[in-house]
Structure 1
């Protein structure tokens, strides 16, 4: 399966009157757009292909469903009032746009050198990133939105799966609720978790639907962390960063891992 075949398969399954497709060969992305509203969704084809290698047709079904839900939701009028429990932070890379395709500024905060925090209104099967227009039309305070989002992410359950590789322990949060990476903002959870770490604590958010916590106890652990983070980054529907972070005293510091040598 290559990008051209994947592109054709997605276009075939999403063929609708009024929906157009734009393929960017340089970025290897496919944008599906409603020609009436000019709003749309852009997906990275390499990430979908990587998932297809593992899950075959299920991977295509997942992305098609995601696109359908997102485009249908764009037709609906959204409101923040009465939906305080549905506001969450979402982590994105620093290359992610800071405004909508219509030029409306998105609400966001800087997080690390590799990541930003955006804010979203959960709509059930998808969510809408909160922009300045939505905030102003309801006369909401941006600071209030951010406080609500941080509170809500701390209220989410954090189920953890554990795996041991070469004497190092890796923990994975993967609920697929859209906010797995966002749990890196749950500071009380991270602080409590750090007390059980015997070696060096490292974190990774390679894509939206996973948070990796590593208890690095030897040099091999850094190599394993780098490999699995890159693998997740390549296969994620919404990639964030292939870099990992050292966690110390509540601070995150990006680390570059090359073979058995590491550097900040």
Structure 2
């Protein structure tokens, strides 16, 4: 039986039925909204996107969506404090085009990173995290420097175990721990310096999406083509895409580089 938006709406209504929630359906936009009755804080789900995932993954897609929605709603309804939670604060990398305010108008704490990327800060809540806004800092009397110092310290403590692959005599290293902070490891200067010291050729770094950090030891021209194709593929498939442009790491600086991939490497 073919899945439709109306059928998906009914499934979600059954799975998300709670006395504390209210729901609504916008037929024109084909969206389904669920929110807390008392605060009206909630989220809007684009039904055709869910139907597409259902057609590809079946009931698993609905299970994952329901889990994410319930977790997001729980976080929205909680008051979070930073004091005492210092070990749970991490930086997260996002595209330079990522919003700097929440949908409710709260200004997010962020700072520039490269021309392609920006740094935000997250309070880790276990299964998920919440981006830290200016109001949270003001409430605790914290400065931008303090949140940045804490987050940068914590990202250095993360495990940096990688998998290595060699293609056309170029070495590629992948960190994909699936902890939400794989791309954030690009902020660990000691890690970048270690990879630079141990590289035979030019060191390139890529953060195509949130859940991977790629180091490339480029030793010939083919290496750039491989990296360009690899980065574009990861960028297209990522749950939270960041940038399809890799960076050259030189003199402790990250410089975005546009690579026109001409040669597809043979296996």
Per the shorter chain, which TM-score range? 0.7 to 0.9
Contact 2:174 2:214 in 1 (8 A): yes
Gaps of 5+ in 2: none
The aligned length equals 254
Query: 2:229 matched to which residue of 1?
Result: 227
Q: CA deviation at 1:259?
A: 2.2
Q: Render the CA deviation track for 1:95-139: whole Å, top value 9, x for unaligned.
A: 111011121111000001110000111101111111011111122
User: Mean Cα displacement is larger for which, 108-117 or 29-38?
Assistant: 29-38
TM-score (norm: length of structure 2): 0.82
RMSD: 3.2
Q: Which runs of 5+ in 1 are unaligned?
A: none
| Cα displacement (A) at 1:65 | 2.7
Match of 2:155 in 1: 153
Deviation for aligned residue 1:71? 2.0
Tell which deviates more after alignment, 65-74 or 40-49: 40-49
Provide, for residues 138-157 of structure 1, a one-character-per-residue CA deviation record: whole Å limited to 9, x for no partner. Answer: 22222111100000001111
Q: Does the CA contact (< 8 Å) of 1:180 and 1:211 recur in 2?
A: yes
SS in 2 for 1:256: coil
Partner residue, 2:179: 177
Structure 1: distance between partners of 2:25 and 2:134: 28
Matched, 1:78 2:80: yes
TM-score normalised according to structure 1 size: 0.83
What SS does the corresponding residue of 1:18 show, helix, strand or coil?
Answer: strand
Q: Does residue 1:18 correspond to 2:22, yes or no? A: yes
Which position in structure 1 is the counterpart of 2:261?
A: 259
Change (3 A) 1:77 1:108: same
Equivalent residue number for residue 144 of structure 1: 146
**Structure 1 Cα separation of the partners of residues 163 and 102 of structure 2:** 36
CA distance in 2, matches of 1:48, 1:253: 40
Q: Which has the larger radius of gyration?
A: 2
Give 1:67 shift: 3.3
| 1:88 paired to 2:90 | yes
Label 1:168 to 1:60 Cα distance change in 2 as closer, same or farther (>3 A).
Answer: farther
- Flag the structure with more relative contact order, 1 or 2, with Cα contacts below 8 A and sequence separation at least 6: 1
Task: Pick closer, same or farther for the CA change 1:226–1:81 going to 2, 3 Å.
Answer: same
SS in 2 for 1:252: strand
Give CA deviations for 1:162-198 in whole Å, capped at 9, x if unaligned. Answer: 1111111111000110000000000011101111111
Cα deviation 1:58-117 (Å, max 9, x = unaligned): 566445433331222111110111001011100001111101112111100000111000
Query: Matched residue of 1:258: which SS?
Result: coil
Q: Which moved more, 1:223-232 or 1:106-115?
A: 223-232
